[in-house]
Amino acid sequence: MKVLIIAEHKNGQLSEPTREILGLSLGQAEVHAVAVGEGGESLVGSLGERGVAKVHLINSPALTSYTGESLGQALGQFIQQLAPDVVLAAHTPQGRDLAPRLAAALDAALATDCIQVSLDGGQVTARRSVYAGKATAEVEFTDDSLKVITVRPRTVNPPEPDATRSAEVTEVSVELPGQKTALKEIIVSDNVRPDVTEAAIIVTGGRSLGSAENFSIIENFADSIGAAVGSSRAAVDAGYRPYRDQVGQTGKVVSPQVYIACGVSGAIQHLAGMRTSKHIVAINTDPDAPIFHLADYGIVGDLFEVVPQLTEAAKKRNGS
Ligand SMILES: Cc1cc2nc3c(=O)[nH]c(=O)nc-3n(C[C@H](O)[C@H](O)[C@H](O)COP(=O)(O)OP(=O)(O)OC[C@H]3O[C@@H](n4cnc5c(N)ncnc54)[C@H](O)[C@@H]3O)c2cc1C
């Protein structure tokens, strides 16, 4: 079986969600990776050390500031040449944009946001979280068509590199005529903290914060432990936080190592976005709040007292 991994990268560094995909148990598969755009050659070492046999580099002036359209076209052409059985991409904004484009263009089977993928004995199966995380669906592919699968970040442990391994490199040229879209400008976010989808630790505040200003309590705590700031939808709707921070069914789906919910009730739509976090901590005045059913650690208390104390303790530990 031939597996192709779409390697995401930034400033010459392999993205963490791509590194995680390399930790999937791919059995005896022949593992290829493709890197698009400038800087792809600097990934070859990391990919080879993590089990990729061949790295394909696609570059073209049309891909310098690529759009979903040009990237999809470039990868579509290359996938047709390589003819893999499975294409794996991270379920990141880029992967979410690309996977359906590729599946439609190549008439492939599609399974997105998978939390487990298995390639045992040539049979590919994937698991996806459904019904707001209340159940898991097992997806089986019923014919030999190409399978395009995206993997939810932070659900697989990245493998340790093995310096004795290396990958072959090939350069691939593509034709990108007649683009219908062009990238005009990238407006850099003013968020100085990590994004909730990338952070290992998230501190989330809910409606109970009462104002945008009071979120400074959450921000200070997050900064003291290097965390991202998340928000419930109620806090976003009230104008306390921007939508980009919203966690949940209609926000972002996250799986950090530690999720600290401060004054968040734990509505099912919120749980849908953070249920797969490795360790969940809840701080809530109501001992019957639903979030405590999911939490590994709970503090029944007023966040306005508890959170500043945690911040002080973290600062002391940091020596500041
Ligand atoms: C279609 C749909 C999609 C939705 N999508 C999302 C989504 O993506 N994300 C999301 O979050 N919600 C979503 N919701 C909304 C969801 O149902 C809840 O209304 C929302 O999550 C509640 O936010 P909250 O926990 O901040 O507020 P509340 O439910 O009001 O809870 C506040 C909590 O704070 C506690 N509290 C109060 N004061 C303090 C204090 N001083 N210290 C500590 N604890 C305190 C209370 O005991 C309570 O548990 C969606 C709803 C629908 C219908």
- Is position 216 within any domain? yes
The pLDDT tens digits for 235-252 are 999 999 999 999 999 999
- Is position 180 within any domain? no
CATH of the domain at 153: 3.40.50.620
83: pLDDT confidence band, cut at 50, 70 and 90?
Answer: very high
Cα gap 73→9, rounded to integer Å: 18
**Looking at the structure, do residues 157 and 228 belong to the same domain, yes or no?**
no
What value does the CA radius of gyration of the chain take, rounded to a whole number of Å?
21
**Lowest-pLDDT range of 36-40, 103-107, 185-189:** 185-189
- With 0-12 / 13-18 / 19 or more C-beta atoms within 10 angstroms meaning exposed / middle / buried, residue 165 is middle
User: Is the CB–ligand 1 distance for residue 217 below 6 Å?
Assistant: no
Looking at 172, 190, 211, which one is the last position of a domain?
172
Question: pTM for this structure?
Answer: 0.83
User: Is the CB–ligand 1 distance for residue 220 below 6 Å?
Assistant: no
- Is position 189 within any domain? no
User: Is the CB–ligand 1 distance for residue 204 below 6 Å?
Assistant: no
Task: Give bridge partners of residue 171 from the DSSP assignment.
Answer: 57
Edge to edge, the sheet with strand 228-231 lists 228-231, 201-205, 258-262, 279-284, 297-300
Task: Give bridge partners of residue 87 from the DSSP assignment.
Answer: 4, 148
**Looking at the structure, do residues 223 and 271 belong to the same domain, yes or no?**
yes
Which H helix or E strand runs over 4?
strand 2-7
Q: Which residue, among 242, 12, 20, 243, has the nearest Cα to 153 in the 3D structure?
A: 20
User: Is the CB–ligand 1 distance for residue 284 below 6 Å?
Assistant: yes
Q: How many domains does the chain contain in total?
A: 2
State in Å: Cα 249 to ligand 1 middle. Answer: 12
Residues 72-83, mean pLDDT to the nearest whole number:
97
With a cut of 80, say whether residue 65 has pLDDT above it: no
**Lowest-pLDDT range of 29-43, 72-86, 171-185:** 171-185
- Is position 196 within any domain? no
**Looking at the structure, do residues 206 and 82 belong to the same domain, yes or no?**
no
Kindly state the tokens that stand for 204. 């989330």
10: pLDDT confidence band, cut at 50, 70 and 90?
Answer: confident
Sign of CA dihedral 299, 302, 306, 308: positive
Give me the domain span that covers residue 283. 201-318
Cα gap 266→219, rounded to integer Å: 20
With a cut of 90, say whether residue 189 has pLDDT above it: no
**Looking at the structure, do residues 157 and 217 belong to the same domain, yes or no?**
no
